[in-house]
Structures are given as C-alpha cells and as structure tokens.
Amino acid sequence: MVKDSKKKEEKPKESPFKKFLKKRAPVYLSVMAIVIIFIVPELTKGDLQSNLPENLSEEEKLAMDTLMSYKGPNNEGLSVMDAISNQIDEKYPNEKIYDNKKTNVNVSVSKIEGDNYQVIFDFESYKEDFHYDWNVNMQNEDIKGNDKDSKYVIDLVDFYD
C-alpha cells in the first residue's frame, strides 16, 4: 500500500504534431527565409509596363496599347515596349531604375484627327531622359515616328530578326 500511496508523477505526452514541428522547424524556417530573400524581390521587381500611367481614357489606352504592342509588318518578334525596355536596360544595367524616386514615366495621348493619335512617351531618371513622339493610325495600325529616336525604335522593331 505504500507503493499505492506514492503517486507517480506522469509527464504529459507530447502530441505527434509538436514532435513533427520540433524536428522540422529549422528546415521550414530556412525555406521561408530563402523565399523572402531571393524570390519575393524578383516577383515585385518593377518594369516599364507597371509604370505606365493608368489615368487615360479608353480611346487613349487603346492607342497606347496599339503602339506598345506593335511588332512590325510581320507582327512577330520585338515589340515597341520591348525595344524601349531594352534601351532603358542598356543605360541602367544591374539597376532597379523603376524603384528610384527620380524615375518618372509619362505618356501623353492626344487625338489629331479622325483615327489618328499622337503618343508622346517620356522617361525621366537621374541619369538620362528618353523622349519619343509617334503618330498612330488606329484604322490601319500604322505607326510613324515624328523624331529621330522614335523612328529608330520603329526601324528596330520593323527590321528585328
């Protein structure tokens, strides 16, 4: 009876879930750290498309989208958006230029007459500015550059292999 009077202190049993977490917690934490450090910045990386203004009317957006998606007479290869992005990337290699406070992208779309629009694209940064001026005919989707740089971009798109 003496043995019965002594109560054994029982340790509470750990649940299988707690054991599972204790064994694998360092692995899960390291995987989360890798995702946060390497993958999230790449997913949130700025680009030209995300910096285009959104306060345009439907007609103006259509004219801008027609211009930016123009891929030349064969409708394949490099687009105007890609050509401009490549020029910006060449000037600012290994730099997150779109995250810089001094970087500004402006697009002005104005109706000239009928189905013709003038699209003015300005990219301003701390180092250099790009200015392009195009006429867009919405009826036949004809794009014409109004200055030397704009004509260069259209030639680059038209003759891209």
- Say if residue 98 is exposed, middle or buried (CB neighbours under 10 Å; 0-12, 13-18, 19+): middle
pTM (two decimals): 0.64
Three-state secondary structure string covering 112-143:
EECCEEEEEEEEECCCCEEEEEEEEECCCCEE
Q: What is the pLDDT of residues 15-50, one digit of tens each?
A: 787 777 778 878 888 888 887 777 766 555 556 666
Residue 52: what are its φ and ψ, rounded to 5°?
-70, 145
Q: What is the pLDDT of residues 49-60, one digit of tens each?
A: 666 667 778 888
3-class DSSP assignment, residue 96: coil
State the Cα–Cα distance between residues 115 and 139, nearest whole angstrom. Answer: 6
